[in-house]
Amino acid sequence: MSVHGPAPFAPSAPLKLFNSLTRQLEAFQPVHAGEARVYSCGPTVYNYPHIGNMRAYVFADILGRTLSFKGLKLTHVINITDVGHLTDDADDGEDKMEKMAKAQAQSIWDIAQHFTQAYWEDVKALNIRQPARWTIATEYVPQMIAFAEKIAAKHCYELDSGLYFDVSTVADYGRLARAQTEDGEGRIEAVECKRNAADFAIWRKTPPGEKRQMEWDSPWGKGAPGWHLECSVMSGEVLGFPFDIHTGGIDHREIHHPNEIAQNQAFCCTNGLDLPANSGARVWMHNNFLVERSGKMSKSSGEFLRLQLLIDKGYSPLAYRLMCLQAHYRSELEFSWDGLAAALTRLKRMLIAVQQLKDRIPLRTGEGDHPQDGGGAPSLAEPVPGPRFTPFLERFDAAVSDDLNTPVALTVFEEVLALKKVDASEKLAALAAMDAVLGLGLLTLDRKALRLKPKGVEIEETEIESALEARKEARAAKDFARSDALRDELVAKGVEVMDGDPLGWEWKLV
């Protein structure tokens, strides 16, 4: 225990997470004491991610940050699916990657590389922390073959088109899917001779006489792994079964994750095949969809919203991050431009308040008015909020520990932001502790980052500043005709002048 100043806040609220497999909130119990091992289903890199896809990774990031906040050593893995995901999750249709490669007349490897990069750029722009490992599906094919070989005799059968998993060989198949609907699987039997409609290919053979761009030798002939096999293998390989938490979008509750679970049961079945003990992960978590008025945002539907479009229209990606945090991850979130604009305004208010607070903290040693710093410079890196902030941090902790209740956590953050007559350094420290979970980056964010220039606007910031300066002079000289003319000129160039803006933004691009 330190004798110098207050001890750092230690979150102690019990962490409860909603487990889709048991359909209840459960107290989080790490498999390995003091650790949290998390696997998130990554994108299929046949196209740009849309902002709905990115909601899944903002959610996984908040989960990871919360686990770190709770003092657990986090190992987070996100995969990149560059082979094997068919156009229909239920084992039907073409490989998404092959289809795109044909349409673009490019190699699958180039397509994969291009869209993986695009996804990583969005990850960065949204302040999503880098996972411990990105696992690329095509780098794990030998392990996939080994996994399939281990379960083949007891759980699989071979058809001309591939090696199929017999879902009747495991207990309680599809339990995860039934968590959402009781209507049964409702799948289309796409392949003749399957024993059960829900059976799925864990290895797809290359048809005779064909050559695929991505194919590997296997005991079942040349071919490619199935999408579900990939995630079972990469998660088990890197994190070890059972690991703590498996995440994905809510669509994965229907087919992808039930199939992963069936494979994991087959692979882990040392003591029978029961669920949830053999599902491979202790907790299965799913984020709900980002929807538009017309329905779920989907890549397959052609037109979709990319993060870049938001940026082109002048919205900081962090406004979208905040929009995600304003909803609970298990609620549907409807995207609207108005909603995004409101999130941006909220973010601006937060940022201005943080900046005003920072302005109150002297940066140099020896200025004497911060005795609690022991004479050193106030350190943003090692914040220690004093006891005044403990009740707030406790409420923040309770909110995020309550199945990641970010909407409530945000309001606690804003309450602290609004506190008057408190020590500025301590307040900043409390905000830093909370922002480490929210990931808005408010302590280091520059104002300019929130004043992005929409693509269509050609005016430069210096030009705006000098017009504003000239306008100030005109007003001082009571030349209101000139002041109005300057304002109108700016409006014509897409700049709205904000006279009397309490936040001091002065202008914004419209």
Ligand X SMILES: Nc1ncnc2c1ncn2[C@@H]1O[C@H](COP(=O)(O)OP(=O)(O)OP(=O)(O)O)[C@@H](O)[C@H]1O
Residues of the shown chain interacting with Zn ion in the complex, contacts defined by CB under 5 A: 41, 231
For ligand X, which is the closer residue by CB, 57 or 396?
57
Is the sign of the CA dihedral 259, 265, 267, 273 positive or negative?
Answer: negative
Q: Which is nearer to ligand X, 309 or 503 (CB)?
A: 309
Question: Cβ of residue 285: shortest distance to ligand X, in angstroms?
Answer: 11
Q: Which of Zn ion, ligand X, none interacts with 231 (beta carbon under 5 to 8 A by kind)?
A: Zn ion
Helix (H, G, I), strand (E, B) or coil at 16: strand
Nearest distance from C-beta of residue 70 to ligand X, angstroms: 24
Which residue, 55 or 228, is less far from ligand X as judged by CB?
Answer: 55
When asked if residue 53 is in the footprint of ligand X (CB under 6 A), the reply is yes
Residue 362 CA: distances (Å) to CA of 25, 342, 380, 402: 45, 33, 12, 37
* Nearest position to ligand X, beta carbon: 249
Pairing of strands 295-296, 92-95: unpaired
Shortest CB 224 distance to ligand X, Å? 16
Closest approach of ligand X to the CB of residue 404, in Å: 15
Q: How many residues bind ligand X (CB under 6 A)?
A: 19
Longest dimension (CA), the chain: 90
Instruction: For ligand X, give the closer residue by CB, 126 or 412.
Output: 126
Name, in order, each residue with C-beta under 8 angstroms of 345's C-beta and a sequence gap of 6 or more: none
User: Which among Zn ion, ligand X, none contacts residue 63 (Cβ within 5 to 8 A by kind)?
Assistant: none
Q: Quick one: 149 or 251, whose CB is closer to ligand X?
A: 251
If one asks whether residue 43 binds ligand X (CB under 6 A), the answer comes out as yes
- Helix then strand then coil, in percent of the chain rounded to 5, is 45, 15, 40
- Sole binder of ligand X in the list 15, 21, 36, 41 (CB under 6 A): 41
For ligand X, the closer of residues 236 and 248 by Cβ is: 248
Name the segment binding ligand X (CB under 6 A); options: 47-55, 137-145, 430-438, 496-504. Answer: 47-55
Give the range of 37-45, 217-225, 371-379, 399-407 binding ligand X by CB under 6 A: 37-45
Nearer to Zn ion, 231 or 429 (CB): 231
- In the annotated binding site for ATP, the residues are 299
Q: According to the binding rule CB under 6 A, does residue 99 interact with ligand X?
A: no
Of 236-275, binders to ligand X (CB under 6 A) are 248-249, 251-252
Which of the choices ligand X, Zn ion, none does residue 165 contact, using the CB cut-off of 5 to 8 A by kind?
Answer: none
Q: What angle do CA 400, 324, 315 make, to 5 degrees?
A: 135
d(CA 202, CA 231): 11
| Helices assigned H by DSSP within 79-107 | 96-104
Nearer residue to ligand X within complex by CB, 283 or 297: 297
The per-type count for the chain, helices as H runs and strands as E runs, is 15, 18
Say which entry of Zn ion, ligand X, none residue 305 contacts (CB below 5 to 8 A, set by partner kind): none
State how far the alpha carbon of 58 is from the alpha carbons of 5, 95, 351, in Å. Answer: 35, 27, 20
Alpha-carbon 139 to chain mean position? 23
Taking a C-beta distance cutoff of 8 angstroms, is the pair 429, 385 a contact? Answer: yes
CA distance 213 to 143: 20
**DSSP notation for 51-79:** HHHHHHHHHHHHHHHHHHHTT-EEEEEEE
Told to check if 383 binds ligand X by CB under 6 A, we report: no
For the bound state, the minimum distance from the C-beta of residue 336 to Zn ion, rounded and expressed in Å, comes to 30
* Interacting partner of 299 out of Zn ion, ligand X, none (Cβ under 5 to 8 A depending on kind): ligand X
In whole angstroms, the minimum distance from the beta carbon of 403 to Zn ion comes to: 22
**Binding region for Zn(2+):** 41, 231, 256, 260
CB 247 within 8 A of CB 285: yes
Q: Does 131 bind ligand X (CB under 6 A)?
A: no
Q: Count the Cβ atoms, other than its own, within 10 Å of residue 287.
A: 28
CA dihedral 118, 119, 125, 126 (to 10 degrees): 160
Query: Could you tell which of ligand X, Zn ion, none binds residue 298, using a CB distance below 5 to 8 A set by kind?
Result: ligand X
- 153-212: contacts with ligand X (CB under 6 A): none
Region of residue 370 (phi > 0: left; psi between -120 and 50: alpha; otherwise: beta): beta
Q: What is the dihedral of CA 367, 372, 375, 378, to 10 degrees?
A: -70
Which CB, 42 or 383, lies closer to Zn ion? 42
Neighbour count for residue 460 (Cβ, 10 Å) = 10
Among 24, 104, 107, 300, binds ligand X (CB under 6 A): 300
DSSP state for residue 216 in the 8-state scheme: B
Comparing CB distances to ligand X, the nearer of 253 and 282 is 253
- H-helix segments, 213-299: 227-239, 256-268
Residue 276: name the closest of 246, 255, 256 by CA.
246
For the CB of residue 15, give the shortest distance to ligand X in the complex, in Å: 22
Query: Which of these ranges, 231-239, 296-304, 391-399, 465-473, lies near ligand X under the rule CB under 6 A?
Result: 296-304
Annotated binding site: 41, 231, 256, 260, 299
**Cβ distance to ligand X smaller for residue 99 or 222:** 99
Q: Which of 400, 398, 362 is nearest to 67 (CA)?
A: 400
Least distance from ligand X to the Cβ atom of residue 73, Å: 24
Choose, by CB under 6 A, the member of 32, 212, 222, 296 that binds ligand X: 296
Among 37, 55, 187, 321, binds ligand X (CB under 6 A): 55
Where do contacts with ligand X occur on this chain (CB under 6 A)?
A: 41, 43-44, 52-53, 55-56, 248-249, 251-252, 287, 289-290, 296-300
